[in-house]
């Protein structure tokens, strides 16, 4: 009779495995999650959600509702991360829920809604300044990049689900990790194309007077886009290293390169809310003569 493969992964000596139903043999995170990070995530995203919802209603900016949905899923993710930290870090279900809420992209998880909100803002800016400044029509931007997000998300969810199954059954997760890596690589590539389109638009529109839009909003919006892309690049590097790489097994990287960028990006668009800063409808600016 063949012996079982040796256990590989993190086992917290200060938190013995309860070996309950649904528990993996190791902590899939690669470390025991910090309850401080979990609680901070809940509090900061909940406060952002309250302020965002207030402005959503006040300015009737229903087009930006996807940001609210994304915030809600982030809260769910950090609730389950807190449960992992406090109740049972070995519980596969806790890991899967927080992973799908915080790390992957599909129509039922957080980041795809944040991305849709970013694409919507660019579409509104194009409408406010004139179609001739944009490489693509606003509607095309929405459809192309949201479709790419969904494709990337489906690939990531398949990979992430297979990783959970492999780890809980003590099997080699390399193939599942490569599937996840492919989805992230496609996501990083398409988001980079979006950033290039955004840069092209802003260069073409540099001589246009954006009087109805507060200048601070542009800085906040660009910074939010860069922070979201930083998060994507971190996830790509983390997955490329493998489940037991440096990035995957130390929570400090998660805190600095995933948690912090998303929190800051969300608060930037809450403080400089597009409902208050971005005009809607037909172009309202005219070229500045030089």
Q: Residue 70: what are its φ and ψ, rounded to 5°?
A: -60, -40
| Dist. CA 84–CA 106, nearest whole Å | 23
Q: What is the pLDDT of residue 290?
A: 32
Q: What is the pLDDT of residue 176?
A: 84
pLDDT of 4 higher than 70? no
pLDDT of 222 higher than 60? yes
Q: What is the pLDDT of residue 226?
A: 95
Q: What is the pLDDT of residue 101?
A: 58
Residue 160's nearest CA partner among 111, 110, 96 is: 96
pLDDT of 211 higher than 70? no
The average pLDDT across 192-217 equals: 80
Please, what is the average pLDDT of the chain?
83
pLDDT of 177 higher than 90? no
Q: What is the pTM of this model?
A: 0.84
- The end-to-end CA distance of the chain, in Å, is 83
Q: What is the pLDDT of residue 65?
A: 92
Q: What would the pLDDT profile of 127-159 be if each residue is shown by its tens digit?
A: 877 788 888 898 899 999 999 988 988 888 788
Higher-pLDDT residue of 156 and 262 is 262
């Amino acid at each position: 009779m063949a012996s079982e493969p040796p256990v590989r992964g993190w086992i917290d000596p200060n938190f013995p495995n309860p070996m309950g139903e649904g528990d993996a043999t190791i902590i899939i995170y690669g470390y025991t999650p910090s309850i401080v990070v979990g609680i901070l995530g809940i509090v900061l995203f909940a406060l952002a959600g309250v302020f965002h919802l207030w402005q959503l209603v006040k300015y009737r900016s229903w087009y930006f509702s996807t940001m609210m949905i994304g915030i809600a899923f982030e809260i769910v993710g950090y609730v389950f991360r807190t449960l992992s930290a406090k109740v049972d870090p070995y519980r596969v279900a806790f890991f899967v829920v927080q992973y799908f809420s915080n790390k992957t992209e599909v129509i039922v998880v957080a980041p795809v809604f944040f991305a849709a909100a970013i694409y919507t803002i660019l579409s509104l800016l194009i409408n406010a300044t004139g179609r001739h400044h944009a490489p693509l029509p606003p509607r095309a931007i929405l459809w192309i990049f949201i479709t790419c997000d969904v494709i990337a998300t489906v690939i990531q969810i398949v990979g992430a689900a297979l990783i959970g199954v492999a780890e809980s059954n003590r099997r080699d997760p390399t193939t599942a990790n490569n599937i996840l890596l492919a989805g992230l690589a496609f996501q990083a590539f398409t988001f980079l194309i979006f950033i290039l389109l955004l840069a092209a638009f802003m260069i073409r529109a540099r001589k246009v007077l954006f009087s109805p839009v507060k200048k601070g909003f542009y800085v906040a919006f660009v910074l939010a886009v860069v922070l979201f892309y930083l998060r994507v690049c971190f996830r790509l590097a983390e997955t490329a290293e493998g489940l037991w790489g440096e990035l995957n097994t130390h929570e400090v990287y998660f805190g600095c390169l995933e948690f912090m960028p998303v929190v800051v990006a969300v608060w930037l668009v809450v403080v400089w809310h597009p409902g208050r800063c971005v005009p809607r409808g037909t172009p309202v600016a005219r070229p500045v003569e030089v």
